[in-house]
Amino acid sequence: MSLIGTLLGYALTLFILVLIVRMVLDWTGQLASGPSRTAKARELTHAWTEPVIAPVRRKLPPLRAGGIGIDLAFTVVFVAALILRSVAFSL
Protein backbone atom coordinates (compact mmCIF):
# COMPACT_ATOMS: atom_id res chain seq x y z
CA MET A 1 0.00 0.00 0.00
CA SER A 2 1.48 3.34 -0.99
CA LEU A 3 1.63 6.41 1.19
CA ILE A 4 -0.24 8.53 -1.37
CA GLY A 5 -3.03 5.98 -1.66
CA THR A 6 -3.36 5.79 2.11
CA LEU A 7 -3.45 9.57 2.52
CA LEU A 8 -5.98 9.90 -0.28
CA GLY A 9 -8.08 7.14 1.28
CA TYR A 10 -8.09 8.92 4.64
CA ALA A 11 -8.99 12.23 2.99
CA LEU A 12 -11.91 10.55 1.21
CA THR A 13 -12.97 8.95 4.50
CA LEU A 14 -13.05 12.39 6.10
CA PHE A 15 -15.05 13.74 3.16
CA ILE A 16 -17.56 10.88 3.47
CA LEU A 17 -17.96 11.61 7.19
CA VAL A 18 -18.63 15.29 6.40
CA LEU A 19 -21.22 14.20 3.82
CA ILE A 20 -22.95 12.05 6.45
CA VAL A 21 -22.96 14.94 8.94
CA ARG A 22 -24.40 17.20 6.23
CA MET A 23 -27.14 14.68 5.52
CA VAL A 24 -28.10 14.34 9.19
CA LEU A 25 -28.07 18.12 9.75
CA ASP A 26 -30.22 18.65 6.65
CA TRP A 27 -32.74 16.06 7.82
CA THR A 28 -32.92 17.43 11.36
CA GLY A 29 -33.15 20.97 9.99
CA GLN A 30 -36.24 19.99 8.04
CA LEU A 31 -37.86 18.50 11.12
CA ALA A 32 -37.00 21.34 13.51
CA SER A 33 -39.20 24.39 13.85
CA GLY A 34 -37.86 27.81 14.73
CA PRO A 35 -34.22 28.92 14.82
CA SER A 36 -31.75 26.09 14.69
CA ARG A 37 -28.80 25.77 17.04
CA THR A 38 -26.96 23.76 14.41
CA ALA A 39 -27.00 26.47 11.74
CA LYS A 40 -23.24 27.11 11.96
CA ALA A 41 -22.41 23.39 11.61
CA ARG A 42 -24.80 23.15 8.66
CA GLU A 43 -23.14 26.14 6.97
CA LEU A 44 -19.72 24.59 7.53
CA THR A 45 -20.65 21.20 6.07
CA HIS A 46 -22.25 22.86 3.06
CA ALA A 47 -19.15 25.00 2.52
CA TRP A 48 -16.95 21.89 2.50
CA THR A 49 -19.13 19.68 0.31
CA GLU A 50 -20.98 22.04 -2.03
CA PRO A 51 -17.95 22.63 -4.34
CA VAL A 52 -18.07 18.91 -5.18
CA ILE A 53 -21.85 18.45 -5.25
CA ALA A 54 -22.76 21.63 -7.21
CA PRO A 55 -21.20 20.58 -10.56
CA VAL A 56 -22.93 17.21 -10.33
CA ARG A 57 -26.22 18.91 -9.45
CA ARG A 58 -25.97 21.07 -12.59
CA LYS A 59 -25.83 17.90 -14.70
CA LEU A 60 -28.28 15.91 -12.55
CA PRO A 61 -30.98 18.15 -11.04
CA PRO A 62 -33.02 17.05 -8.01
CA LEU A 63 -35.84 14.62 -8.73
CA ARG A 64 -39.27 15.98 -7.77
CA ALA A 65 -41.84 13.51 -6.48
CA GLY A 66 -44.89 15.45 -5.37
CA GLY A 67 -43.81 17.76 -2.57
CA ILE A 68 -40.55 15.92 -2.00
CA GLY A 69 -37.26 16.64 -3.74
CA ILE A 70 -34.65 13.90 -3.89
CA ASP A 71 -31.09 15.16 -4.40
CA LEU A 72 -29.60 12.59 -6.73
CA ALA A 73 -26.35 14.59 -6.97
CA PHE A 74 -25.65 14.00 -3.27
CA THR A 75 -26.19 10.27 -3.74
CA VAL A 76 -23.93 10.12 -6.81
CA VAL A 77 -21.13 12.01 -5.01
CA PHE A 78 -21.50 9.80 -1.93
CA VAL A 79 -21.29 6.56 -3.93
CA ALA A 80 -18.40 7.89 -6.04
CA ALA A 81 -16.50 8.85 -2.87
CA LEU A 82 -17.02 5.35 -1.48
CA ILE A 83 -15.73 3.76 -4.68
CA LEU A 84 -12.74 6.11 -4.92
CA ARG A 85 -11.92 5.44 -1.26
CA SER A 86 -11.83 1.70 -1.93
CA VAL A 87 -9.58 2.22 -4.93
CA ALA A 88 -7.27 4.56 -3.01
CA PHE A 89 -6.80 2.14 -0.14
CA SER A 90 -6.02 -0.68 -2.58
CA LEU A 91 -3.18 1.23 -4.25
Q: Domain residues of the chain, as ranges?
A: 3-90
Give this prediction's pTM.
Answer: 0.85
Q: Give 36-85 pLDDT, tens digit per residue.
A: 677 888 889 999 999 999 999 999 988 888 888 788 999 999 999 999 99
For 74, other C-beta atoms within 10 Å of its C-beta total 20
Contact between residue 56 and residue 77 where contact means Cβ atoms under 8 Å apart: yes
**Which stretches of the chain are DSSP H helices?**
3-31, 39-59, 72-90
For residues 87 and 12, is the Cβ–Cβ distance under 8 A? no
**Whole-Å CA distances, 61 to 9, 12, 14, 28, 80:** 28, 24, 25, 22, 17
Instruction: Please say if the pLDDT value at position 32 is more than 80.
Output: no
Q: Residue 36: what pLDDT?
A: 67
What pLDDT shows up at residue 53?
95
The mean per-residue pLDDT over the stretch 14-35 comes to: 83
Name the residue among 13, 6, 10 with its Cα closest to residue 91.
6
